[in-house]
Amino acid sequence: MKSQTTFKSVSGVKTVDTRSPKKAPSLVLALTALLFLNVACSDPFPVSGSFRYKSLSSTVVIPDDGLPPDDQTEEPTEPAEPPALVCDRELASKLELSTQVQMNWYATHGGRIPTPANRARFIPGTNGRIIVLVHGFLSSPLWMGDLAESFSKEGFSVLMPLMTGYGAGPKEANASTIEDWRASVIEAVELAKGCYSDVNVVAHSLGAAIITDELVNRGRTGISRVALIAPYFRTGYSNLSVMTEALRLTTDDLSVEGIEDATGIDPYEYLPIERPYPGEPDAFLPLVALDRLIDMAGLFEQPVQKRVSIPMFYALSHEDSAINNQFAGRYATMAFTSPDLLYYPRAARVGHGIHRRVENRYYDVLVERLLQHLNAQAP
């Protein structure tokens, strides 16, 4: 009588014959034993937590948990780096290559190379946002250090370009053009856009003029917010052009100290140049570059065709004689839909260096307002 057993499997009900199996011939048993020995000896090394058997195509590892093996076994891999870290490293690498090209420019246009402290730099942050921090006339990233530190503490990444021609000497500054300055700033903005979706620009003096021209007259896009500190739209010294032309009759550059000795006026009060830190030598004045700076004012004389709608903040000071504050205020309201102003009154006694602690005893007020602007919800 046949004996049968039924059980359920994943695929359905199975019926299994439980009769005693027929005995296999001794020759078959012998061949099977030889085959088993061949298989066992062909893979002598043990595998911890599993065992191996040979298939027709490859060695397959069967885990102890009894689950079917994958088609292929994979070697353990290192955890992937967060995309933000990879992107930051790529940005830093591209900036280094760009700086090498820029240093070659200095080598062939005067020969004086900016020190590392004056070159472009990138400080990675933690909040996924970046600020392109742009210096002004006869300045460099070194002079933007206070703001860079303040923004970095808040988690922002900071990218500080060096405008080609600055950070070295008068020959190099005189050899540079407005297009050289512009190209340095725009390259930094594009580098930031290649890695970050939220790109903000904070710029001082000449840097503020360049980024404003890009936004208002050239239709530059991809910037989330912009902040203009003491923007140079027009000089505050009405006779600056006449004085520059007169001085160029005899020289292309001279020291700021020499101007003060000859005229009796403090050039730092009337020119958009950085006052040295205590113990540093006085600045030089490259007259050819200054002439080009004066010419830039013409960019802001033309009518505004379309107001820029991105959030805009600007800071002015009553005591800043280097720029025309009244014109800067009028142009800001004509060019941007919702400008937000911080104005330092006469009593604050803050000059053109609003962005530096050494010149602005109310520097923390500026930082507070900048962070409010950068963190505000877009209208």
Q: What is the mean pLDDT of residues 265-269?
A: 74
Where residue 123 falls among pLDDT bands split at 50, 70, 90?
very high
Report the pLDDT value the prediction gives residue 277, as an integer from 0 to 100: 63
pLDDT by residue (tens digit) across 207-229? 999 999 999 999 999 999 999 99
Q: What is the mean pLDDT of residues 157-183?
A: 96
Q: Quick check: is 70 in a domain?
A: no
Tell whether 150 and 59 lie within a shared domain.
no
| Tokens 């000089």 belong to residue | 235
Where residue 377 falls among pLDDT bands split at 50, 70, 90?
confident
Tell whether 54 and 139 lie within a shared domain.
no
- Phi and psi torsions of 179, nearest 5°: -65, -35
Q: Which of 33, 8, 4 is nearest to 17 (CA)?
A: 4
Q: Identify whether the C-beta of residue 359 lies closer than 8 Å to the C-beta of residue 334.
A: no
- Measure the CA–CA gap between 276 and 266, rounded to whole angstroms: 13
Q: At 318, list the tokens.
A: 């009553």
Sheet of strand 312-317, all strands in order from the earlier edge strand to the far edge: 121-123, 157-160, 130-134, 199-204, 225-229, 312-317, 339-344
pLDDT by residue (tens digit) across 299-308? 999 899 999 9
Tell whether 98 and 53 lie within a shared domain.
no
Report the pLDDT value the prediction gives residue 218, as an integer from 0 to 100: 94
Q: Quick check: is 278 in a domain?
A: yes
pLDDT by residue (tens digit) across 17-73? 444 444 444 544 444 444 444 444 444 334 334 333 333 344 444 444 554 555 555
Q: Quick check: is 296 in a domain?
A: yes
Q: Quick check: is 75 in a domain?
A: no
Q: Quick check: is 352 in a domain?
A: yes
Tell whether 144 and 43 lie within a shared domain.
no
Q: Are strands 130-134 and 157-160 parallel, antiparallel or unpaired?
A: parallel
pLDDT by residue (tens digit) across 326-339? 999 999 999 999 99
The vertex-365 CA angle with 363 and 366, nearest 5°, equals: 65
Q: How far is CA 374 from the centre of its chain?
A: 15
Q: Quick check: is 134 in a domain?
A: yes
Q: Are strands 59-63 and 50-54 parallel, antiparallel or unpaired?
A: antiparallel
Report the pLDDT value the prediction gives residue 21, as an integer from 0 to 100: 46
Q: At 65, list the tokens.
A: 């948990």
* Alpha-carbon dihedral 130, 308, 120, 374, rounded to 10 degrees: -30
Tell whether 298 and 156 lie within a shared domain.
yes
Q: What is the mean pLDDT of residues 253-269?
A: 75
**Mean pLDDT in the chain?**
82
Tell whether 55 and 128 lie within a shared domain.
no
β-pair partners for 343: 316
- Measure the CA–CA gap between 209 and 197, rounded to whole angstroms: 24
Tell whether 307 and 203 lie within a shared domain.
yes
Q: Quick check: is 71 in a domain?
A: no
Tell whether 112 and 195 lie within a shared domain.
yes
Q: Quick check: is 74 in a domain?
A: no
Report the pLDDT value the prediction gives residue 239, as an integer from 0 to 100: 82
What whole-number percentage of the chain has pLDDT above 90? 60
Report the pLDDT value the prediction gives residue 254, as an integer from 0 to 100: 82
Report the pLDDT value the prediction gives residue 78, as an integer from 0 to 100: 59
Residues of the domain holding 323: 83-375
The CATH number of residue 228's host domain is 3.40.50.1820
Tell whether 251 and 359 lie within a shared domain.
yes
Report the pLDDT value the prediction gives residue 77, as an integer from 0 to 100: 61
Q: At 236, list the tokens.
A: 């505050």
Helices (H), 43-131: 83-108
Tell whether 47 and 96 lie within a shared domain.
no
Report the pLDDT value the prediction gives residue 378, as an integer from 0 to 100: 52
Tell whether 51 and 95 lie within a shared domain.
no
Tell whether 89 and 42 lie within a shared domain.
no
264-to-211, 246, 256, 261 alpha-carbon distances in Å: 34, 17, 11, 6
Report the pLDDT value the prediction gives residue 46, as an integer from 0 to 100: 40
Report the pLDDT value the prediction gives residue 208, as an integer from 0 to 100: 98
**Which residue among 63, 96, 112 closes a domain?**
63
The vertex-50 CA angle with 45 and 52, nearest 5°, equals: 55
Q: What is the pTM of this model?
A: 0.76
Domain count, the chain: 2
- Measure the CA–CA gap between 214 and 204, rounded to whole angstroms: 15
Report the pLDDT value the prediction gives residue 71, as an integer from 0 to 100: 53
